[in-house]
Amino acid sequence: MKKSSRAALPALAIIALLALWEALVRLMDIPAYVLPSPSAVLAALWEDRAALLQHSGITVAEALGGMGISLVLAVALGMLMDVSEKVKAILYPILVVTQTVPMIVLSPILILYLGFGAAPKILTVVLMCFFPIVVSFTDGMGQIAPGYVNLIRTYGGNTIQVYTLVKIPYALPALFSGLKVAATYSISGAVVGEWVASQAGIGYYLLRVKNSYALDKMFASVLVIILLSLMMNGLITLLQRLCLPHLYRKDQGRNRK
Amino acid sequence: MKLKVDNIAFRYAEEPLFQGLSFNVAAGEFVSILGPSGCGKSTILNLLAGILAPEGGSMAVDGVPIRGMSSHFAYMPQNDLLFPWKTIMQNVCLHGRLRGNEKAARERALKLFPLFGLASYENAWPSDLSGGMRQRAAFLRTALCDADILLLDEPFGALDVISRGDMQDWLVSMKQHLGRTCLLVTHDIDEAIFLSDRILVLGGRPASIRSEYRVTEANRTRDWLYAQGELRHRLHDSIRGLETKKC
């Protein structure tokens, strides 16, 4: 299959689905408070664009803050677990258990502890994003061929150099995979936090329009959440290109002797 | 004597791997250790490089006992182990970087790139290079260590037959230039004959040096190598444990 058609096929499928949806709403005369048509959703999006943009900014800021904290925590804890098997044996199961608690349950508790500001939202993002990052980073470092570490050692390198020169760079592609998963979660995490209690953000907007049964605006905010999540994902892909240029090098001089 | 390995004992997974392993290497000598798979050839290099520690016996360079990692050795593993995220120049200067004199290493490396068949590939990624080129880059990285003894662990073992032959020809032409003491581990009899001043056959369990052969030919050519039928035959028998006489 050609590259262009590979990208075009899902786009076509989505357009076909939207057309079907539009046609059904119009033909069956479904009222807007039951199911708004895609065109009505787009109209609501355009009409409320100023408010949506403003709330998006707040949600994105919370998501980015949470991602940043998650990344720092994940790298620190990942290295700690890599250095000591004991630490890994203690921490890893705890990390897994934290992932089994539904965020929608945890969020109200966080608000009780941290108040109504940005802190509980950022923490919700951290709780959702930290896990995929730390797991991919730790596994990435664990899969390194021992020869690389021995090479640095026989060249007189110390433990810090083993990490900075080999282990961390080696685990970077895996770390980025984890970051991409986390990036997609990060917006949802912030929205869940806002949904529970807030004065701003897409989650707050969503809650407000839900209470007024403005279904077209609810769908519009869902669309915004999708776009923001894809944007976060794209941001990570861009970062990956900058940090790992050897994976995107031009195909020059392959198979030369 | 440059390197003296005396009465080494080593256990691997509770099994004694070496017992009374002893051999010497003279300064500037190219010595190959030949033996069947799994007899512990690579382990000898790991012991010398300090990656593993022996249970008994001693090792000395220039008469001074060594323990753990020592700057006398530069270890080159079978797999080239180039860092895919670093350019060829950054890769070959790894030792310089670890020692804090990367700039000097770069200058030295730049002069050596043509000799190692890597001219104009300074800024290429390892994945741009063929297997033979990668191996030569790994060789350059090893040569740029300020070590007097190179430990070569089947350096061409991962290459196809043709590239492997080319690399052996290249190494023969480089020996003079390298001017180092080399200890090569291989299971390829022809490679050992072609490159070595002396061949040690490792065998038995626990293993020790079974026999030793000197190769004195000064003009190493493929034609000369193909005429070494008798030596090849003797080495083959010795590896299989059919003959133990020294020569």
The distance of A193 to chain B (nearest Cα, Å) reads 39
Whether the per-residue pLDDT at B8 is higher than 50: the answer is: yes
The rounded percent of chain B whose pLDDT value lies above 90 is 23
Q: What is the mean pLDDT of residues A67-83?
A: 94
From CA A178, how far away is CA B236, in angstroms rounded? 52
Whether the per-residue pLDDT at B247 is higher than 70: the answer is: no
* Contact predicate B239/B35, CB 8 Å: yes
Q: Which CATH number fits domain A36-242: 3.40.50.620, 3.10.50.40, 3.30.2130.10, 1.10.3720.10?
A: 1.10.3720.10
Residues 15-74 of B with CB under 8 A from A: 49-51, 69, 71, 73-74
Label residue A3 by pLDDT band (50, 70, 90).
low
Give the model confidence (pLDDT) of A39-66 as tens digits: 999 999 999 999 999 999 999 999 999 9
What's the longest Cα–Cα distance across chain A?
76
pLDDT of residue B156: 85
Residues of chain B contacting A144 with CB distance shorter than 8 Å: none
Judge: B69–A172 Cβ closer than 8 Å, yes or no: no
Token reading at B79: 């797999």
Q: Which CATH architecture has domain B3-72+147-239?
A: 3-Layer(aba) Sandwich (3.40)
DSSP state of B207: B
CB contacts < 8 Å between A and B, how many?
A: 73
Give the model confidence (pLDDT) of B86-129 as tens digits: 999 999 999 988 888 888 889 989 988 888 888 899 899 999 99
From CA B78, how far away is CA B158, in angstroms rounded? 7
Q: Where in chain B is the domain with CATH 3.40.50.300?
A: 3-72+147-239
Judge: B49–A157 Cβ closer than 8 Å, yes or no: no
Q: What is the mean pLDDT of residues A148-176?
A: 91
The residues facing B149 across adjacent strands are: B73, B181
Residue in B with minimal Cα distance to A162: B98
User: What ipTM score was computed for the predicted complex, to two decimals?
Assistant: 0.81
Q: What is the mean pLDDT of residues B49-60?
A: 89
Task: Give the one of B49, B79, B125 whose C-beta lies nearest to A154's C-beta.
Answer: B49
Give the model confidence (pLDDT) of A195-251 as tens digits: 888 889 999 999 999 998 889 999 999 999 999 999 999 999 999 999 998 888 765
* Contact predicate B220/B197, CB 8 Å: no
Which sequence spans correspond to the domains of chain A?
36-242
Judge: B98–A156 Cβ closer than 8 Å, yes or no: yes
Label residue A2 by pLDDT band (50, 70, 90).
low
Label residue B159 by pLDDT band (50, 70, 90).
confident
pLDDT of residue B182: 92
